[in-house]
Structure 1
C-alpha cells in the first residue's frame, strides 16, 4: 500500500477507533459502574435501566451531528469535518470521566452525565460518513471493501483498548475502581484525540472530491445542498437506515447487554472485559477478511449472509453466557459477534458510500449510519434489559434480534448502487 493510502487509512481508522472506544467504554461502564456511581438509590434492575437509558441518550444527537458535519464534509471537505469531530469526541468523553459521583453532587451528577453523553453523540454523529467517504474514495478499484473494512479494524483496537483498560483498573480493589479506576480510560480519550489530530493534519482530499470542487469553482457554483441531493433519490436514503439496523444492534446486544446479562447470572465483570478484549483482537484481523470477501462476491451477498448468521447465532451465544464458565462465555462472544457482527460492520460503510454520489456522499452515509444506530443500537441494551426483565427469559431478546436482522435483509435486497462503481458494478443494479 503506498504511503499516501496508508496515511488515509490510518487517519480514517483513528477516528473510528475513537468512536468505538468512546461508545464501548461507555457501554461497559453502563453495565458495571454507572448504576452505582450515578444511580445509587435504585434497585439493581432500575439502576441498570437508568444507566442504559443514559447510554441511549447519547444517540439522540447523532443524526443531527450527521447532518451538520455531513454538510461540512460535502461542501468544505472530508478532512475539515474529521478534524472537528475527533476534537469534540475527545473533550466530551474526557469530561464524562471527570464528573463527580451522585453521592458528591447529587442529581447534578446524572444530569451532567446526560449532557456530555449527548455532546459526545453530536460529534460521533459526523465521524463515520467523513471517514468512510475519504477512505473508500482513496481505495484502488477492486479493493474498496477491504479499505472500508480497515476502519472496523480500528474499532477492534477500540474494543481491546476500552476493555483492556477497564480490566486493568478493575483488577485491583473494587472501591478504587468505582471511585477512580473507571475514570482513567475516559480521560485517556484526550490522548487519542491528540494522536488523531496529528494523523489527520497530513491527509489529502480524494481526487473525486477535488474534481468536484474544481468543477464548482470553474462554473462559479456554490454547490447544491447535500441533504437535498440525498433526497432527490429517497429510496437509498431510507434503505440505508434499514440496512444499518442489524449491525447497529449486534455489538450492543452481544457485548454490552450481554455483559449485564452474564453479571446478573453471577459472572464476574472481569470475565466480560477479557472476552471483549479477545473479540477486539479477532475483529482487527476479521474485518479486512470480510471486506475482501465483499470485493469478491459483492457487498449484498456478504451483508445478507451476515444478517442470517446473526439471527441464527445469537441464541447459542447467550446459552454459552449462562454457563458461567469463562472459556465458554468467551466462545459465545466470538460466535455472537466476530462472525456476524464484524461481517456486517466490515461491509456496511463501503456499501453506504457506494449508494450515494460524491457531492452528497458524507451526508448520505451519515443519514443511514447514524439514524440506524440511534433507533437501533442506542436503544438495544435498554430494550433487551426491559424484555428480559418483563418475560424472565432471554428468548424475547433473540426474537427481537431476528426481527431486526430480517429488516436488514429486506433493505439490502432492494438497495441500489451507483452505476460507475468499478469493483462491484456487475453485482448490483444501477440506480
Structure 2
C-alpha cells in the first residue's frame, strides 16, 4: 500500500500557488483494508475515503471503462493491482496527472511539468473525449490560469470540437454545467471561459443565446468595438475588476441577450432589446439550473440597465419607478449589485474601460434621498392603505427633485 498526493495540489505547488485542498491516491489497497485502517467511505461511484484525522479525501487507484454517454457513463475497477500510472492516464490534463510520493519526489509519466513550464493545457490521452464535463473544466482552467500565460493546446481544442460534433457534449446535465460555469465566473478572467467554449464550438450548444451575439453589430458611436459578442466579453472583464461576486458577473454576461433577436434590417440600432432579453435570460437560466438569486439579478440588469445609463436625464418619477421596480428599498445590497453590472456594461467598450460612471453614484444618492423620509410625520396624518403609500411617494419624489436640482 502506497499513498501519493495527486492532482491540483501537486500542480499548484509546482506553480508556487497555495493548494486549498489535497487529494490522495492509494495504490495497492482494497476497500476492506481502508475500513480496517479507520477511513470512512464517502464515494458512491468508486471507493473514496476520508482520512480518520485530517478528513482529506483518499481514493483507491482505479481504471475506467466507457459504458454510456455523459459524466456517469463509466464503470470503474479498483483492484489492488492497479498502478499509479494507470490511474493518472485517466485524468483530464497533463498538469493534473502528476503525483508526489512521501519523499517529495514528483511522478510525472505524461510530461505535466513540461506543459506547466510551457504554459500549455493539454489532454493526457484520447480518453479525455469520453467525459463531456472536461470541455467545461478545460475552459475553466483556461480562465483561472490565463493571467499566467496559459493557453489550450491546439490538439485539445480539436478534440473538444470532435466531442461537440459527435454529440457527446449534449449529454451534459444542467447541474454540472451550472457548477462549472459558476466556478469559472469566480476566476480572474471569466471571459476566457466563454472564449474557449466558443473556440471549441461548445458555446453554441451550451449557451446558444450568448453565442448568437457574436457578429451582431452595434452603433460605432457608442460601441467602437462594434460586435455585440465582443462587447459582452469586455463587459464581463470589467465586472471581474469591479466585483468578486459571481452573481454580478453572471448578470453582466447576460445583459444584452436581446440584441441577438434584433431584426437585421434595424441594425446597428437595438431598440427594445431590453424586453427581448427577458425570455432569453429565463430560458438560459432554466436550462442550466441557475439559482433563483442569479436569475433575478440577471433579469433586473437586462431590463433596467439602459435606465441606469440615462440616470442623469431621468425625471424624479422615473427614478422612483426604477428604485421601486428593483425592490431597492428592501434589498439595497442587490441594487448595489445592479449598479456594478451597469458600470461594467458602460466600461465594456473600446476606449471606455477607465471612464468614470457618475450614474451609479447618482442612483446611490437617489436611493439614500428616497429613504430619508419622515415616516413619523406621515403616520401622524392617520392615513391608511393607498393614501399612506401616496404620501410616502410624494415625500420621496420631493427629495428626488431636490437632489436633481442640487
Fold-level match, TM-score > 0.5?
no
Question: Structure 1 length as normaliser, TM-score?
Answer: 0.23
TM-score when scaled to structure 2?
A: 0.24
- Give the structure with higher Rg (CA): 2
With a CA cutoff of 8 Å and minimum separation of 6, indicate the structure with the bigger relative contact order. Answer: 1
Structure in which a larger fraction of residues adopt helix: 1
